[in-house]
Amino acid sequence: MRRAVFLDRDGTINEDPGYLGDPDKVFLLPTVGESLARLKNDFNFLLIVISNQSGVARGLISIDDVRKVNEKINSLLKKFNVQIDDFFFCTAHPDFNNEEDCQCRKPSPKMLFDASEKYNIDLTKSYMIGDSESDILAAKNAGCKSILVKTGLGKETFNALLSDNNLPNFVAENLKEASEFIINDFSGENFVK
């Protein structure tokens, strides 16, 4: 079985202007390219984006817009010699869709389960990195280790998780620190900044 690093998209990999549908507004966060390249090229992790994209249900962006943004992310990552292996996204929102349509929406682990089935991934040896409570809960619901990054909504999310006594396995300042934790954890070393 394979191992993966699952990643939220907006606020974790790229800047989050809200309901991102324009590829020209895609900007990678600092250290993302180098960090993802190290995880994939040096440690053979699959890189899979798991993303809620309710802007589609809200009529603000289209599925084609989501795909173009995903393509732009991989285009920007090319200069770091790395690519996201797959993008799973849920376009539903409970205010606009029925319960069945929303089954894929994080914190549901459905997208992680779907990716696991498609790529033969051992979820217990995999990680989920994100900036929202739904990312951390999806990881826990799927049996992955959870990492909160303080980029995007991460600082506010940390306070909410703290008050709910529902902390992730690790809290990182950014994707670089998250990737270092994964590498050290996977290698059986204690994490040192």
The residue assigned the tokens 């895609």 is 26
Distance CA 90, CA 170 (A): 25
Which positions are annotated as active-site residues? Answer: 8, 10
Distance CA 116, CA 142 (A): 10
End-to-end CA distance of the chain: 30
Work out the burial of residue 70: count CB atoms within 10 Å of its CB; fewer than 13 is exposed, 13-18 middle, 19 or more buried: buried
Q: What is the largest CA-CA distance in the chain?
A: 47
